């Protein structure tokens, strides 16, 4: 039997998990890691301060604002953005090394960064993570108690703006409170299904 060219191949994907602040991106990625899923997770670099419980090199690469600006000037980042007055970005070298390993590569980035990745790499798989309601998102942001009132208001306003960009993504996954495993199951199912496409995604950077 003759199959179409590429139908028997499944190259590694570049998978972006994105969504507004407070939807649970960190929790989803942490759960994926705990399950031992066969993905390579690329850690985001940020200039923001390290929060309690966060580990350098696991949750983020925490660098100074001066170091981040040097990385921008040296064109070392796949994408970067100023988010809530702090820099965030993905080192290019880390992504290339991860893809070369033959594993699917997972990036956890904000909506602005996801759209940049889409422009640079149209074949990337973009998944938008969301709460089931505006009220649930606001409750989560308030419960974190990591923001000033002005900071909280900014995050809520930004989240509402980011929802308008949903159409730029491939899939929408809801992450209701207390149902994290279901959200992760949905993401894994999406990735597995994508690996069965007749015309596979081919990532080039």
The tally of domains found in the chain comes to 1
26-66 pLDDT tens trace: 999 999 999 999 899 998 899 999 988 899 988 899 999 99
For residue 157, the enclosing domain spans 14-194
Q: Which residues are marked as active site?
A: 51, 144, 155
Can you tell me the distance from the alpha carbon of 27 to that of 168, in angstroms, rounded to the nearest whole number?
Answer: 23
Q: And the tokens for 167?
A: 């159409």
- In this predicted structure, the answer to whether residue 4 has a pLDDT above a threshold of 70 is no
Answer yes or no: is 77 within a domain: yes
Q: For the segment 87-142, what is each residue's pLDDT rounded down to a tens digit?
A: 989 999 889 889 888 899 999 998 988 999 999 899 999 999 999 988 898 888 88
Q: Return the exposure string of 76-113: e unless at least 16 CB atoms fall within 10 Å of the residue's CB, then b.
A: bbbbbbebeeebbbbbbebbeebbeeeebbbbbbbbbb
Tell me if 175 sits within 8 A of 23, measured CB to CB.
yes
For the chain, give the mean pLDDT. 89
Per-residue pLDDT at 72: 95
Contact 142, 104 (CB under 8 A): no
Query: Whose CA is closest to 106, among 182, 194, 180, 175?
Result: 194
Residue 9 predicted with pLDDT over 70 = no
Residue 166 to residue 14: CA distance in whole angstroms:
18
Position 34 in a domain: yes
pTM above 0.75, yes or no: yes
Q: Is residue 9 part of a domain?
A: no
CB-based contacts of 99, cutoff 8 Å, min separation 6: 12, 14, 105, 203, 205
CATH of the domain at 118: 3.40.50.300
3-class secondary structure, 84: coil
Using the predicted structure, report yes or no on whether residue 190 has a pLDDT greater than 70: yes
122 domain residue, yes or no: yes
Residue 169 has pLDDT above 90, yes or no: yes
Mean per-residue pLDDT for 138-164? Answer: 83
203 falls within a domain: no
Does a structural domain hold residue 136? Answer: yes
């Amino acid at each position: 039997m003759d199959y179409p060219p590429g139908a028997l191949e499944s190259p590694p994907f570049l998978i972006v998990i994105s969504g507004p602040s407070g939807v649970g991106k960190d929790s989803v990625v942490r759960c994926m890691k705990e399950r031992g899923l066969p993905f390579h997770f690329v850690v985001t670099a940020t200039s923001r301060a390290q929060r309690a419980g966060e580990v350098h090199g696991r949750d983020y690469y925490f660098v100074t604002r001066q170091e981040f600006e040097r990385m921008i000037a040296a064109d070392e980042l796949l994408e970067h953005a100023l988010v809530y007055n702090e820099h965030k970005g993905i080192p290019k070298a880390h992504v290339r090394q991860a893809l070369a390993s033959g594993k699917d590569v997972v990036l956890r980035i904000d909506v602005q960064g996801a759209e940049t990745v889409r422009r640079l790499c149209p074949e990337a798989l973009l998944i938008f993570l969301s709460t089931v309601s505006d009220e649930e998102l606001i409750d989560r942001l308030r419960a974190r108690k990591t923001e000033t009132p002005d900071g909280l208001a900014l995050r809520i306003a930004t989240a509402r703006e980011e929802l308008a960009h949903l159409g730029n993504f491939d899939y929408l996954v809801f992450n209701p409170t207390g149902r994290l495993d279901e959200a992760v199951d949905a993401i894994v199912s999406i990735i597995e299904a994508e690996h069965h496409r007749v015309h596979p995604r081919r990532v080039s950077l």
